[in-house]
């Protein structure tokens, strides 16, 4: 635990306004920029909360998760800041993100929680700050915004995987370690198998269109990707292996967001689609609604590319880690994703 650096964040307690920074997209078409190397035991993890606030028990769990991987944790008092539905003002969260990006002893930035708030920071992060460091950012859900910005602006991969404040199952931990520390590639990610059938309100994995597809992995949380339409951080989906998940959205809302993707992001040019577990997204028994399966099949069935639903990622206990921007192959029949290159 290292709290001595909090004085650098003090000005952010007062300067909480959202002030965009002028930028251009000069880095948008650069070749992929990779980090310095894999994460090794003994390295330091910077724990941050760029979105919603956390409870102290989540911080305790995050520290334990870091230590269970043989790593050391580093954080400031900003990690427990609270400002309504945000983990501190924009200025506090931005300052803490910048501090950990620039810190010479921090090798990996692991977000403790998603929630909401990351997208508010994007106009204030200069592209040069992404470029100056190869250290990865790890997390999912709202952290999608940070992954999208780094990839759109400087072609820097991010790690779409568990947040530090969640409990890590054996599958989740094994898959995380395989991406962070294992240097053997190509690497195949299997589906997490459960001995029990899914609850009635959850869909079992199914194939919307069979086949194999290869492309750079781009995506994350559907709500976040849709909200990036018309911004400098909108993903380039041309030839991408698109992966999407969401939680707590009714089918008609999912339909609306997917319609936005089709109209704003040239969805018909993707190489393939990997859908995670859309937890708590089924229509209610009294809703006059299409089912989740009907909605997804309606939106993706006519794309003419392989589409698989129910891969092991999303707001579920068993989730794998995807390196955003790296080449991978989806095999719908085998229910696997093979990574052809590392993020570093």
Of the residues 100, 312, 315, 342, which is catalytic?
Answer: 315
Asked if 167 is an active-site residue, the reply is: no
Asked if 315 is an active-site residue, the reply is: yes
Query: Sorting pLDDT into bands at 50, 70 and 90, what band is 9?
Result: very low
Of the residues 147, 223, 245, 249, which is catalytic?
Answer: 245
Q: What is the pLDDT of residue 146?
A: 98
Query: Sorting pLDDT into bands at 50, 70 and 90, what band is 132?
Result: confident
Q: What is the pLDDT of residue 195?
A: 62
**What is the rounded distance in angstroms from the CA atom of residue 130 to the CA atom of residue 117?**
18
Alpha-carbon distances, residue 275 vs 112, 124, 293, 308, 309 (angstroms): 24, 31, 11, 6, 5
Contact call for residues 71 and 46 (beta carbons, < 8 A): no
Alpha-carbon distances, residue 79 vs 11, 88, 97, 151, 232 (angstroms): 16, 9, 10, 25, 28
For residue 168, pLDDT beyond 80: yes
Q: What is the mean pLDDT of the chain?
A: 90
For residue 11, pLDDT beyond 80: no
For residue 237, pLDDT beyond 60: yes
Q: What is the pLDDT of residue 15?
A: 35
Contact call for residues 125 and 21 (beta carbons, < 8 A): yes
pTM of the full structure: 0.90
* Residue extents of the structural domains in the chain: 4-168, 187-339
For residue 36, pLDDT beyond 80: no
For residue 20, pLDDT beyond 50: no
Least confident of 134-138, 174-178, 243-247: 134-138
Asked if 141 is an active-site residue, the reply is: yes
Query: Nearest Cα to 50, choosing from 124, 105, 126, 156?
Result: 124
Q: What is the pLDDT of residue 194?
A: 74
Q: Which pLDDT tens digit goes with each residue over 173-187?
A: 999 999 999 999 999
Q: Which pLDDT tens digit goes with each residue over 267-312?
A: 999 999 999 999 999 999 899 999 999 999 999 999 999 999 999 9
Of the residues 73, 141, 223, 227, which is catalytic?
Answer: 141
What is 4-168's CATH number? Answer: 3.40.50.10740
Q: Which CATH superfamily is 187-339 part of?
A: LD-carboxypeptidase A C-terminal domain-like (3.50.30.60)
Contact call for residues 225 and 142 (beta carbons, < 8 A): no
């Amino acid at each position: 635990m290292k709290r001595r650096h909090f004085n650098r964040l003090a000005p952010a307690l007062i300067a909480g306004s959202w002030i965009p920074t002028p930028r251009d997209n000069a880095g948008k078409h650069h070749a992929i920029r990779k980090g310095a190397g894999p994460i090794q035991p003994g390295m330091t993890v910077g724990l941050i909360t760029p979105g919603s606030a956390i409870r102290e028990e989540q911080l305790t769990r995050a520290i334990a998760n870091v230590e269970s991987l043989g790593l050391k944790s580093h954080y400031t008092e900003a990690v427990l800041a609270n400002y309504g539905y945000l983990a501190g003002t924009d200025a506090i969260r931005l300052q803490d993100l910048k501090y950990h990006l620039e810190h010479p002893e921090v090798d990996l930035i692991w977000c403790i929680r998603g929630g909401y708030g990351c997208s508010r920071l994007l106009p204030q992060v200069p592209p040069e700050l992404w470029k100056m460091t190869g250290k990865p950012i790890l997390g999912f859900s709202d952290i999608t915004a940070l992954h999208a910005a780094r990839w759109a602006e400087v072609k820097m991969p991010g790690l779409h995987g568990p947040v530090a404040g969640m409990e890590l199952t054996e599958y989740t931990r094994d898959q995380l370690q395989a991406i962070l520390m294992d240097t053997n590639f190509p690497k195949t990610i299997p589906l997490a198998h459960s001995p029990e059938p899914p609850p009635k309100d959850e869909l079992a994995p199914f194939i919307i269109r069979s086949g194999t597809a290869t492309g750079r992995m781009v995506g994350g949380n559907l709500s976040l990707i849709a909200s990036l339409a018309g911004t400098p951080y909108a993903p380039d989906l041309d030839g991408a292996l698109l992966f999407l998940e969401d939680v707590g959205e009714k089918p008609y809302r999912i339909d609306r967001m997917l319609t936005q993707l089709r109209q704003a992001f040239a969805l018909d040019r993707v190489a393939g689609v990997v859908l995670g577990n859309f937890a708590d997204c089924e229509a209610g028994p009294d809703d006059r609604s299409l089912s989740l399966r009907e909605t997804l099949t309606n939106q993706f069935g006519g794309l003419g590319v392989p589409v698989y639903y129910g891969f092991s990622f999303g707001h579920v206990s068993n989730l794998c880690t995807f390196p955003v921007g790296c080449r991978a192959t989806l095999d719908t029949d085998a229910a696997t994703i093979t990574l052809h290159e590392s993020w570093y």
